């Protein structure tokens, strides 16, 4: 049986999906870490949703929490595929719209500036591999694809914007590359599913726009993920020996 493991930063992003699939929480699985585990079975596939959990009374977001969660999920659950589902910023200039759902076709960091030779630069940017079936899935489900770039901040600073533009970044988040880093070390394939909460070049304050659109973007994520899980289960595309 395929085991699909979602890694999702915020409870609000995951809740519509957890409810739809009537998933049960498995308490204490990752103790003493704050990560939360929900499990269920859909169309013959085992489904896990792992949330980063909370600290300081708020949902953990960002690269540090995302990478240790990914490591614990891989070690504790041995999934066949990881799906990082979450919200992101995008660009009006690319024709992006609020609550539009994308599948990632590349992933890198946009805020790790390490001067040096090509190898150090390559390490800083990441550019990790994604699941080889991502494009087929996006095409089958009619989802747009885009390059995800990850950093540790919600706002967009000019220095980050320059790197994003230089590398053709389209979707800006705070977790994808950190999870991709762990997946690249372990060989577990990764699929990125991102829903737009804010337009980085839209002129509005990112935080306000993010809060206003979080619910709509999370419901769009649920709808896309329903199709994605059914597609993955039906097509039985994943198998541990054909990772990339």
164: contact with ligand SAH by CB under 6 A: no
CA 144 to chain centre: 15
CA distance 127 to 45: 29
* Cβ proximity of 218 and 193 under 8 Å: no
198: contact with ligand SAH by CB under 6 A: yes
Q: Which of residues 16, 79, 89, 133 is near ligand SAH by CB under 6 A?
A: 89
200: contact with ligand SAH by CB under 6 A: yes
Annotated catalytic residue within 59, 173, 175, 198? 198
* Cβ proximity of 160 and 180 under 8 Å: no
134: contact with ligand SAH by CB under 6 A: no
* Cβ proximity of 100 and 196 under 8 Å: yes
Helix (H) or strand (E) holding 140: helix 134-141
Strand partners, 45: 42
Q: Which of residues 67, 84, 87, 225 is near ligand SAH by CB under 6 A?
A: 87
* Cβ proximity of 36 and 51 under 8 Å: yes
The CA-to-CA distance between both ends of the chain, in Å, stands at 19
Q: Which residue is at the shortest CB distance from ligand SAH? A: 89
Active site residue 13: yes
Beta-carbon contacts of 212 under 8 Å, excluding residues fewer than 6 positions away, are: none
Q: Which of residues 86, 126, 169, 189 is near ligand SAH by CB under 6 A?
A: 86
Residue range at the interface with ligand SAH (CB under 6 A); choices 28-36, 39-47, 86-94, 96-104 = 86-94
Beta-carbon contacts of 37 under 8 Å, excluding residues fewer than 6 positions away, are: 25, 26, 29, 30, 48, 49, 50, 77
Beta-carbon contacts of 43 under 8 Å, excluding residues fewer than 6 positions away, are: 229, 230, 233, 234
Residue range at the interface with ligand SAH (CB under 6 A); choices 73-81, 94-102, 107-115, 194-202 = 194-202
Residue range at the interface with ligand SAH (CB under 6 A); choices 25-33, 104-112, 171-179, 231-239 = 171-179
Q: Which of residues 129, 141, 210, 223 is near ligand SAH by CB under 6 A?
A: 210
The 137-156 contact track toward ligand SAH, x by CB under 6 A, reads: -----------------x--
Taking CB under 6 A as the criterion, which residues in 45-64 touch ligand SAH?
61
Contact footprint for ligand SAH (CB under 6 A): 9-10, 61, 86-89, 154, 172-175, 197-198, 200, 206-207, 210
Q: Which residues are catalytic?
A: 13, 198
């Amino acid at each position: 049986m395929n085991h699909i493991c979602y890694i999702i930063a915020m409870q609000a992003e995951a809740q519509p999906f957890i409810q739809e699939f009537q998933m049960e929480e498995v308490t204490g699985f990752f103790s003493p870490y704050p990560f939360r585990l929900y499990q269920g079975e859909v169309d013959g596939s085992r489904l896990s949703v792992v949330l980063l959990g909370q600290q300081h009374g708020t949902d953990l977001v960002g690269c540090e929490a995302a990478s240790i969660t990914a490591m614990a999920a891989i070690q504790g659950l041995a999934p066949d595929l990881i799906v990082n589902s979450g919200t992101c910023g995008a660009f009006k200039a690319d024709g992006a719209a609020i609550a539009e759902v994308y599948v990632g076709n590349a992933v890198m960091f946009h805020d790790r500036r390490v001067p040096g030779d090509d190898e150090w630069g390559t390490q800083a940017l990441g550019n990790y591999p994604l699941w080889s079936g991502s494009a087929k899935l996006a095409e089958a489900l009619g989802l747009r694809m885009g390059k995800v770039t990850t950093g540790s901040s919600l706002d967009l600073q000019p220095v980050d914007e320059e790197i994003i533009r230089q590398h053709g970044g389209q979707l800006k988040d705070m977790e994808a590359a950190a999870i991709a880093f762990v997946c690249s070390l372990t060989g577990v394939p990764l699929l990125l599913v991102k829903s737009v909460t804010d337009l980085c070049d839209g002129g509005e304050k990112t935080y306000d726009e993010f809060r206003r659109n979080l619910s709509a973007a999370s419901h769009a994520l649920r709808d896309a993920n329903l199709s994605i899980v059914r597609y993955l289960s039906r097509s039985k595309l994943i198998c541990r020996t054909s990772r990339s």
